[in-house]
Amino acid sequence: MSANKNIPYLEHNNGTRIQGIGLGTFSSLGGDCERATLKAIDVGYRHIDCAYFYGNESEVGAAVRQKIKEGVIKREDIHITSKLWNHFHEPERVEHACRKTLENFGLDYVDLYLIHWPFSYVYRGDEVMIPTDENGEVELNDVDFLDTWRAMEKLVELGLTKSIGVSNFNAEQLSRLLANCKIKPIHNQIECNPAFIQRKLIDLCKQNDILVTGYCPLRRGNPSTQTPNYIYDDRVKAIGEKYNKSTAQVVLRYLFELGTIPLPKSSNPQRIKENFDIFDFKLDAQDHALLETFNTGDRLILAAQAVKSKNYPFNVVLPFC
């Protein structure tokens, strides 16, 4: 159970449940990730988002095991997501990759295992995560993500993960997967913030009973340049003052009310707590209308290194509105 009974849980299409906010961990290293995870669990987070590519699965695992040992949580209380990296897409490598992730965590299973991207890289070794050729270009291959998915389905049968899903799949790719899968994905993790809502993709997911987790909900804040603008805008500040909340809390609440599960990343103890504290107020229609004005369709994460892949997901662009 969550430390706070007011924190909502959402149900997946396979009957499992997940907390309506999660701790993002990308680029959190050098002990910061372990400390952040310990703090997050104490605050009440029961949803931690990780990936093999992030290089910090061992830190998350150490924190989770410590809190289990302390009696703060049981293993079944916390949802842990990790992701299959691009060089493990060949079906014969998928189980190995998942077992390596479990070894890093020091756990028997993950709750959700995602295909991190629909495109794939040439395999040059477990730790060569971005293989490059003599010209410095990323070495791509053309593994069909349907073949990768079939190997992912076997992980569920083996009990290595409770559920499977995808990340960064566009509407066409998601529809193709749904038409050919045995086990339906429970999640599509995508970039989602006020500047880049992806409403039509979110709606497609809803229509197919797939939850959306949103990364980069606050983008990458820079006080010196006052970006992203919606964090520093006086009108958003006024909304925050109305509810006694920060602009970041207003944004996270907005994204939750749009039907996504935001994944704010922080290693700052106060911000970890603040980001979690978004479930004791609701935005009104005027608040939504104002926040909608920031939706410019400006994508932050482009993955340009894979633009030549036939499975590059951003070639098929739905209108951002």
Helix (H) or strand (E) holding 161: strand 161-167
Q: How far apart are CA 191 and CA 174, in angstroms?
A: 15
The alpha carbon dihedral of 203, 205, 209, 215 has a sign of negative
Catalytic residue list contains 9: no
| Given the residues 52, 54, 113, 312, the one annotated as active site | 54
The alpha carbon dihedral of 215, 302, 163, 197 has a sign of positive
Torsion angles phi and psi, residue 33, rounded to 5: -65, -40
Q: How far apart are CA 140 and CA 119, in angstroms?
A: 8
Q: Show Cβ contacts of residue 168 under 8 Å, excluding neighbours closer than 6 positions.
A: 116, 117, 118, 189, 190, 191, 303, 313
For residue 206, give both structure tokens.
């809803």
**DSSP string of 28-70?**
--TTHHHHHHHHHHHHT--EEE--GGGT-HHHHHHHHHHHHHT
Q: What is the DSSP letter of 70?
A: T
* Cα 184 to Cα 153, 166, 211, distances in angstroms: 9, 10, 12
| Radius of gyration over every alpha carbon of the chain, rounded to an integer in angstroms | 19
For residue 253, give both structure tokens.
């609440």
User: Contact at 8 Å (CB) between 23 and 264?
Assistant: yes
Helix, strand, coil distribution of the chain in percent, nearest 5: 40, 15, 45
3-class DSSP state of 121: strand
Q: How far apart are CA 28 and CA 265, in angstroms?
A: 8
Q: Show Cβ contacts of residue 130 under 8 Å, excluding neighbours closer than 6 positions.
A: 121, 138, 305
Annotated catalytic residues are 54
